[in-house]
């Protein structure tokens, strides 16, 4: 699935593109934003493969928005002004859709994007690890992560987000099973389908939830509750 975001300051146009994304089997709607600035904030915490971006927006135009990104996702511009087409291709846009957008035209652009991803998209990232650190691919870079800096790992569809004590989270195209297999079981435990926690970083447990940083609540699901309780019992002092 190609994770997409729709960005347009016109609510009806935004809704149309979002509906087209939902209608297309190989696309997944990750989010909808009514401005470039809200899109920047959204993408800080959510992986996006493809953006459908209106060009003529107030404050920050779609073109300037794309140019401002250090490592932008692939982009398809959507606009009512045909004169922007040439400029759009200068920023390596996959395609250009002219409003009003029919689903047939949208699907042609979506298929063009699919062809690009089928040819170029990285395979699920590999992990190299030992007992002190691991190397993963993230945004086409190889990043070393010391195991003692990991607080918890969050599953997000085809991606995972590694939450760290000393820096921003790191996102990578990887399954929870793959990362779990590379973590030492005496230091990390899966407590939910979408969460792996560092056992050393646990300080508060309340009502079948692990609390990190005072406001992050990680549920302990029934599937993993017995194993987690066994760990707590071994380290519990009456």
Query: What's the length of the chain?
Result: 238
How many C-alpha atoms does 199 have within 13 Å on its Cβ side?
A: 16
Q: Are 161 and 43 in contact (CB under 8 A)?
A: no
Q: Last residue of some domain: 120, 146, 168?
A: 120
Whether residue 97 is found in the same domain as residue 136: no
Whose CA is closest to 198, among 233, 161, 148?
148
Predicted local confidence at residue 112, as pLDDT = 93
Alpha-carbon span 228 to 147, nearest angstrom: 20
Whether residue 160 is found in the same domain as residue 220: yes
Whether residue 93 is found in the same domain as residue 142: no
Predicted local confidence at residue 24, as pLDDT = 96
Predicted local confidence at residue 196, as pLDDT = 97
For every residue of 154-196, DSSP letters joined together read EEETTEEEEEESSS--EEEE--HHHHHHTS-TTTEEEEETTEE
Predicted local confidence at residue 71, as pLDDT = 77
Question: The tokens of 169 are what?
Answer: 């989270």
Would the pTM of this model clear 0.85, i.e. be above it? Answer: no
Q: Are 3 and 49 in contact (CB under 8 A)?
A: yes
Phi, psi of 153 (to 5 degrees): -120, 130
Whether residue 107 is found in the same domain as residue 201: no
Q: Which residues of the chain have pLDDT under 50?
A: 86, 88, 124
SS3 content of the chain, % helix, strand, coil (to 5): 35, 35, 35
User: What is the domain extent for residue 189?
Assistant: 127-234
CA distance to 5, 91, 146, 197, 202, per residue, from 211 (Å): 31, 43, 22, 11, 8
Alpha-carbon span 17 to 117, nearest angstrom: 20
At 215, which CATH number? 2.40.50.1020
Pairing state of beta strands 209-212 and 204-206? antiparallel
DSSP state at residue 101? P
Whether residue 166 is found in the same domain as residue 96: no
Q: How many domains does the chain have?
A: 2
What would the pLDDT profile of 173-232 be if each residue is shown by its tens digit? 888 888 998 899 999 999 999 999 999 999 899 989 999 988 899 999 999 999 999 998
Whether residue 82 is found in the same domain as residue 177: no
């Amino acid at each position: 699935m190609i994770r997409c975001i729709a960005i347009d300051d016109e609510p009806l146009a935004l809704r149309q593109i979002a509906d087209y994304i939902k209608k297309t089997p190989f696309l997944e709607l990750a989010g909808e934003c009514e401005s470039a600035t809200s899109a920047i904030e959204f993408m800080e915490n959510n992986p996006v493969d493809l953006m459908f971006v209106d060009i003529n927006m107030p404050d920050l135009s779609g073109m300037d928005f794309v140019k401002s990104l250090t490592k932008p996702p692939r982009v398809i511009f959507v606009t009512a002004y045909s004169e922007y087409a040439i400029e759009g291709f200068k920023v390596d846009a996959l395609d250009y859709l002219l409003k009003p957008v029919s689903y047939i035209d949208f699907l042609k652009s979506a298929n063009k994007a699919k062809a690009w991803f089928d040819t170029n998209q990285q395979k699920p990232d590999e992990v190299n690890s030992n007992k002190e650190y691991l190397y993963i691919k993230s945004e086409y870079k190889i990043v070393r992560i010391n195991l003692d800096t990991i607080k918890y790992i969050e599953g997000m569809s085809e991606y995972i987000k590694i939450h760290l004590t000393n820096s921003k989270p790191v996102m990578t195209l990887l399954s929870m099973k793959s990362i779990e297999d590379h973590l030492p079981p005496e230091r990390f435990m899966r407590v939910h389908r979408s969460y792996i926690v560092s056992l050393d970083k646990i300080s508060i447990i309340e009502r079948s939830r692990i609390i990190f940083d005072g406001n992050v609540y990680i549920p302990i699901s029934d599937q993993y509750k017995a194993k987690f309780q066994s760990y707590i019992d071994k380290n519990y002092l009456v």
